[in-house]
Amino acid sequence: MTDPIAALTPRVQEAMAAAFGADWAEADPVIRPANKRQTDADVQVNAAMAAGKRLGRPPREVAQAIVDHLDHGDLVEQVEIAGPGFLNVTFSSAWIGRAATALREDDHFGVVRPPQQTVVVDYSSVNAAKEMHVAHLRSAVVGDSLVRTLEYLGHDVIRQNHLGDWGTPFGMLIEHLLEVGEDSDDARLLQSDPNAFYRAARGKFTTAENAEPAGSVGDFDVRSRRRVTLLQAGEEDTLRLWREILELSRVYLNRVYGELDITLTDDDIAGESSYNDELPGICDALQEKGLAVISEGALCVFLDGYRGRDDKPLPLIVRKSDGGYGYPATDLATIRHRSLDLHADRALYVVGAPQHLHFQMVWETARLAGWIKDTEPIHVQIGNVVGTDGKILRTRSGEVADLQHLVDAAFAKAAEVIAESRPELDAQTRDVISHQVGVAALKYADLSVAHDSGYTFDLDRMVALTGDTGPYLQYATTRIRSILARAGVVEPVGPIVVREPAERALALRLLDFGAVVVQVGETLEPHRLCTYLSELAQTFSTFYEQCPVVKAEDDEVRESRLALCHLTRAVLVDGLGLLGITAPDQM
Ligand code: ARG
């Protein structure tokens, strides 16, 4: 066992059972980090508060009884009762040193794997026929970090890229493709800049639709609508063009995923169209179960407690009045499939926050229909990304750079930073490093803020080698690497022996890694890992300032400190890996 809190827990429980009776053996000892402003202790045990209430005894007296029965073993150095009845516990430095030494042998650095689950993660999920928005990038980055973390925890993860590959916008795109010619440069935009292709099609459609008199600038709008009907009827030539458009978007997406090191592959594509055949059955079943009714020609579900403006009942529109299926219909199919076929314990939808109501209504309906069994559907809400002017970064407005431009800008900025910090490196090496740094900058900015709050997209800040940034953490790993190189060791043997306060603080921080990763797997909040890694890097800096490593006073101390360096680097590298960030060898 390498987590001191996990080691302390049963000791406090045993003390409580001995003091107050066997039914206290499972009580939560409520162990929290100690308040460093009031004490030098490591943790605070708060169990006496609740226990005092239950026992009808003053908490300080309860605390004293726990102390009297507490077996310190080799773990606890000192316990003190403080305030109304907290126990301030200081761990033994010898124990910390041994645990840190053992941590080096653990492939997963102290992660205690929870019971294995099947987790479906729906992320990225861009609309192939619409402009890709920055929220899609953030969904890809957050989703990929969750996927990596859940796999590290031993879960069985099923990635699903719920590609928007069906529906009315495709009518427009197919007509546009026919007009520009399948082999034209304009058609190839689908591969290089699909947003531009989409904008061109949309522009033609709006112009035709708004023309006075109708039809005066052609009938692009009329043809696009007819094309949708043909597509949904499965007309062969239309389907062929549809497939061609999707193929080009697929190539585009794979390039973006490759550039950003997102683990999605073609095998993970489970787009809207794949549920198409199930939609009529879903509608029938909802009607049979008495859950859906026809209202103004549309098939709607009205759920208790969902009201719109004017307090009118809010419909979940499953089939529109023109017979087309709405977004809710496909999502009824996704949750049914993920629960009943894939047997997910958790089904994560890593999707923009504005879709929250949609998911609430869809899941509630699916529950009533009996389509969710032993599955917890979770909306991992993605907050907005705003520009430095505080306004929403829009791709549709044209003035603001779209996704590809943002990504390119991040790479360019990273290249500038590396050119400045390492001018002596050859261009090719610098390219590799700049790329890794650019990815780190983008991803860390997306991840270090709680996924449901917005953040400011500020290139200069996120690419900086100092501050709370991805590149700073990468830099910390390369710095440790050069310390080890200077000492001429690849893998120090240790053991880690804790003597100085700065060594102790660093070792204790390292021992937290496992619990933090477990917590991210439960709360689905990668920003907690970012905070941890950034604090770890800072704790390391303090250690390195205060404790000479290469020039340590004797060989034993040197070996122990080198082992601490090595372990810190390994934890940082694994932690960054869970964020989808690679640690360069040098920078
Ligand atoms: N394509 C959707 C959009 O761009 C996101 C899909 C998310 N996944 C889902 N199952 N609804 O807004």
Homologous superfamily of 118-164+271-385? HUPs (3.40.50.620)
Sign of CA dihedral 95, 101, 105, 109: positive
CA distance 442 to 407: 8
The alpha carbon of 557 and the centre of ligand 1 are apart by a number of angstroms equal to 55
Q: Look at ligand 1, atom 5, and give the residue with the nearest C-alpha.
A: 125
Ligand 1 atom having least distance to the Cα of 162? 8
- Listing DSSP states for 232-266 in one string gives HTT-HHHHHHHHHHHHHHHHHHHHHHHHHT----G
Q: Is the overall model pTM greater than 0.90, yes or no?
A: yes
pLDDT-derived band of residue 393, with 50, 70 and 90 as boundaries? low
pLDDT, position 401:
55
pLDDT, position 134:
73
pLDDT, position 396:
43
pLDDT, position 394:
56
Q: Best substitution site from 120, 121, 125, 382 to test ligand 1's pocket, by max atoms within 8 Å of Cβ?
A: 125
pLDDT-derived band of residue 399, with 50, 70 and 90 as boundaries? very low
Ligand 1 atom having least distance to the Cα of 358? 11
pLDDT, position 118:
98
CA distance 217 to 65: 88
Does 125 sit in the ligand 1 pocket, CB within 6 Å?
yes
Question: Average of pLDDT values for 24-48?
Answer: 94
Which residues lie closer than 8 Å to 102 by C-beta, 6 or more apart? 2
CATH of span 4-91: 3.30.1360.70
CA distance 153 to 493: 27
More confident residue, 404 or 28: 28
pLDDT, position 442:
95
pLDDT, position 131:
64
pLDDT, position 450:
95
Averaged pLDDT score across all residues of the chain? 93
Question: Average of pLDDT values for 26-52?
Answer: 93
Q: What are the sequence ranges of the domains in the chain?
A: 4-91, 93-117+403-587, 118-164+271-385, 169-264
Greatest mean pLDDT among 129-143, 172-186, 509-523? 509-523
Question: Average of pLDDT values for 437-442?
Answer: 97
Does 351 sit in the ligand 1 pocket, CB within 6 Å?
yes
Ligand 1 atom having least distance to the Cα of 136? 4
CA distance 320 to 326: 6
CA distance 337 to 323: 23
Does 122 sit in the ligand 1 pocket, CB within 6 Å?
yes
From the options 1.10.730.10, 1.10.10.60, 1.20.58.2240, 2.40.160.40, give the CATH code of 93-117+403-587.
1.10.730.10
What strand order describes the sheet that includes 298-307? 292-295, 298-307, 313-319
Instruction: Examine the pLDDT at 454 and tell me if it is beyond 90.
Output: no
pLDDT, position 398:
47
pLDDT, position 220:
95
Residue pLDDT, tens place only, 423-434:
999 999 999 999
Does 127 sit in the ligand 1 pocket, CB within 6 Å?
yes
Q: Best substitution site from 139, 162, 273, 334 to test ligand 1's pocket, by max atoms within 8 Å of Cβ?
A: 162
Question: Average of pLDDT values for 373-397?
Answer: 80
Compute CA distances 124 → 21, 113, 392, 414, whole Å: 53, 27, 19, 24
